[in-house]
Amino acid sequence: MQYKILDWDTDFFGFKVGRITKPELEVQELSEVLSEMKKEKVRLVYFPSKKEIEFDTANKLSGFLADKKTTFAVDLRTLNLDESISTDIVEPFNEAMPISDIENLAVQSGEYSRFAIDPNFPKDKFTSLYKIWMKRSLKKEIASEVLVIRDRDNIAGVVTLGEKNGHGDIGLFAVDSNYRGKNYGEMLVRAAQRWFIAEGYKYGQVVTQGQNIPACNLYKKCGYSVEKVEYFYHFWL
């Protein structure tokens, strides 16, 4: 089997969603798999490909490039955080803090995501999706820690921390649009790196969208380098 049905996505979006599991398909193979999935009444297909497909070819198959999914990695042992920016104002989230601010930041964290840029997704579904991810992070279901920066009674930035493949992993990350340009993003990333080191991780990683240039530049500034790029396609059948 070259694909699988995604139960969670199917339940959430209200139509059948599948994912192609073989990242190296020739165009003819891709066409055949999509035809097979269409027969199974799959409405949306995710295809993380190792190589880019020509625009016209993807378009003929009712698909488009939704994201250049970029994984950044860093050897935490090589960092000299003593010389980096201060992170004194970064603190763990607690339940007394305003949840509405955190949910708003969760939505902002996805502004470059494939769920935001794909016009076939209703905007309320995109918003709800990121709020769910944040709520699950706060409950420590898909994150181990959530760090924030506050400005008086407002939460100006957030980063969620966890583990993936034995590496310290940054999940959701955002600085509120009203607070950008204050180095809050670098403070949060440096605080995340300190947390990973304190927890005993040797390596850190983060996945972001290739078109999110500000985030990519920030991670590079903080010592990360590109480990791999996946060309993530959406096919609507």
DSSP assignment string, the chain: --EEE-HHHHHHHTS-EEEE--S---HHHHHHHHHHHHHTT--EEEEEESSPPPHHHHHHTTEEEEEEEEEEEEEGGG--GGGS---TTEEE--TTS-HHHHHHHHHHHTTTSHHHH-TTS-HHHHHHHHHHHHHHHHTTSS-SEEEEEEETTEEEEEEEEEEETTEEEEEEEEE-GGGTTSSHHHHHHHHHHHHHHHTT-SEEEEEEETT-HHHHHHHHHTT-EEEEEEEEEEEE-
* pLDDT tens-digit series, residues 100-138: 999 999 999 999 999 999 999 999 999 999 999 999 999
Domain span at residue 21 reads 3-67
| One domain for residues 168 and 122 | yes
| One domain for residues 131 and 108 | yes
* pLDDT tens-digit series, residues 198-225: 999 999 999 999 999 999 999 999 999 9
What is the band of 82 on the pLDDT scale with cuts at 50, 70, 90? confident
What is the band of 1 on the pLDDT scale with cuts at 50, 70, 90? confident
Q: What is the CATH number of the domain that holds 121?
A: 3.40.630.30
> Does residue 237 belong to any structural domain of this protein?
no
> Does residue 170 belong to any structural domain of this protein?
yes
The average pLDDT across 146-160 equals 96
**Res 104: pLDDT:** 97
